[in-house]
Structure 1
């Protein structure tokens, strides 16, 4: 048995892991998760100096990044540096974690990466290199209508969720399990279709978590259960394992539990762990890192 598989077993309960995800991810077993959703820090408020990126596709077996079907790539990040928000090198922080996500996905697995307009374009290039462009499935726009109204530019009222699959010929996707939406022009379809609703497209209109609603935990970056339920319903089956290694308020774990999936949530923030303890209760065991044998 490999060291990674010996250090962590997925035969036990749902887990909330209180640790740095950089320490936890290498100890998780290869191909264990049908779905990985991550909502990493958005790197807001940072000042940027000059940026350059390089992404050179190499011949098979060459380069220092290996993606789907053995296609290799040279170093992607280049000089994406000089950020003064939360990290000196935001992409040096995020890239190795996304590479671990590729390893941890099952052959029919899917990765959802939730970002905003500040970083999503860089993330798209990086994920193309790690997974291969042929494994890019969707760019989902989550649109909402709440908060401040800038008068000096178009107000930013959406996040972007990038969707990548481990194998474009084998990934799991069940549109029949997804909630339906009302037609914007119900008079243009039959009464039967209007009553049934339509399947969502890659643009999702969904409100943020209400500041006064029952779902609100008080965690500042909490995402709505409705968004997570849609993702989990489409890209996993009951009993599958779901991973969120920037777990925050635990919306992924809560939605996974509601839908009969098993989950691992990882976060190092004590406040996040406190919120997840209260929110998930007996649905998960909270552990201080991953125990070695």
Structure 2
């Protein structure tokens, strides 16, 4: 499905791929240096030493072939599909975020790295043998660092942690979020819950879509899962394309988006089943 979509047709791409949890680390041998044109070495995507960086990561990570052979071509497609003022949000956890950043530096260019967002939450069991892992990482890259769209004024504000230290006017208005987002997970008993196991909260997607797209812009999510991206995009007046190959995800999305005019395209035996 992704190769059939036209170049530079989305202002915002958000993807929340499956996390790779079966890692075995062997040795540390990586390179994150973006090669300059004419400097020698293997030239990869868009003239960068992409293959060299990929090879270095592969030597370090025994699980690289399994996971990155799956994700890597989709990151390349994300670059192609982003408009010149577009932004990619890649949602991962601590196991893969650092590997993804090196590869995204090679694909997009290090100057296109905008943010590392930390979504922190505090729910569920907590380990007593190490610091409990209660955050996800969202890497933010722009297609063109000189032209990308970002509107902080459109983002919902949040309460000050110490409202007594600011004026009453500021306390009432709230503050702009930073790159650390404290937001609860989807409550197992809340009205937002769809039953999909990896559902992401409306509040997290709302902040992303508010900041990095305008009303009427096109938003893409090709690991759509429970359909949160589409539900939020529709509520904010954006167009959206959702893709997923999991039959459970398709069922959840059909139910969740039932009240929204949607043009469904379902391949009975897809590599990826698209939803618009």
TM-score strictly above 0.5: yes
> Normalising by the residue count of structure 2, what TM-score does the alignment of the two structures yield?
0.90
Aligned to 1:113: 90
Assess if the C-alpha contact under 8 Å between 1:34 and 1:110 holds in 2. Answer: yes
Aligned to 1:73: 49
Taking the TM superposition and a 5 Å limit, the aligned residue runs for 1:55-74 are: 55=32, 57-60=34-37, 63-67=42-46, 71-74=47-50
Higher RCO (CA 8 Å, separation ≥ 6 residues): 1
The SS at the match of 1:89 is helix
Query: How far apart are the structure 2 equivalents of 1:157 and 1:119?
Result: 15
**What CA deviation, in whole Å up to 9, does each residue of 1:45-70 have, x standing for no partner?**
x1415354445533437744234xxx
Check if 1:170 corresponds to 2:150: no
Aligned to 2:14: 37
Structure 2 residue corresponding to 1:284, chosen from 262, 268, 272: 262
The SS at the match of 1:41 is coil
Mark the CA change 1:43 to 1:192 in structure 2 (over 3 Å): closer, same or farther: same
Structure 1 residue corresponding to 2:160, chosen from 177, 183, 191: 183
Query: How far apart are the structure 2 equivalents of 1:227 and 1:235?
Result: 13
Kindly report the root-mean-square deviation, in angstroms, between the aligned alpha carbons of the 2 structures. 1.8
Check if 1:123 corresponds to 2:100: yes
Query: How far apart are the structure 2 equivalents of 1:280 and 1:147?
Result: 29
**What CA deviation, in whole Å up to 9, does each residue of 1:162-188 have, x standing for no partner?**
000001110000111100011111111
Number of residue pairs the alignment of both structures matches: 261
Aligned to 1:208: 185
**Structure 1 unaligned runs (5+)?**
1-23
Check if 1:263 corresponds to 2:240: yes
Query: How far apart are the structure 1 equivalents of 2:118 and 2:222?
Result: 22
Query: How far apart are the structure 2 equivalents of 1:144 and 1:57?
Result: 34
Query: How far apart are the structure 2 equivalents of 1:55 and 1:207?
Result: 33
Aligned to 1:223: 200
Assess if the C-alpha contact under 8 Å between 2:34 and 2:105 holds in 1. Answer: no
> Normalising by the residue count of structure 1, what TM-score does the alignment of the two structures yield?
0.84
Runs of 4+ in 1 over 6 A off after TM superposition: none
Mark the CA change 1:38 to 1:195 in structure 2 (over 3 Å): closer, same or farther: same
Query: How far apart are the structure 2 equivalents of 1:258 and 1:252?
Result: 10
Taking the TM superposition and a 5 Å limit, the aligned residue runs for 1:145-160 are: 145-160=122-137
Aligned to 1:96: 73
Aligned to 1:9: none
Task: State the shift of 1:26 in Å.
Answer: 1.0
The SS at the match of 1:213 is coil
Assess if the C-alpha contact under 8 Å between 1:55 and 1:73 holds in 2. Answer: no
Query: How far apart are the structure 1 equivalents of 2:262 and 2:49?
Result: 39
Query: How far apart are the structure 1 equivalents of 2:171 and 2:110?
Result: 36
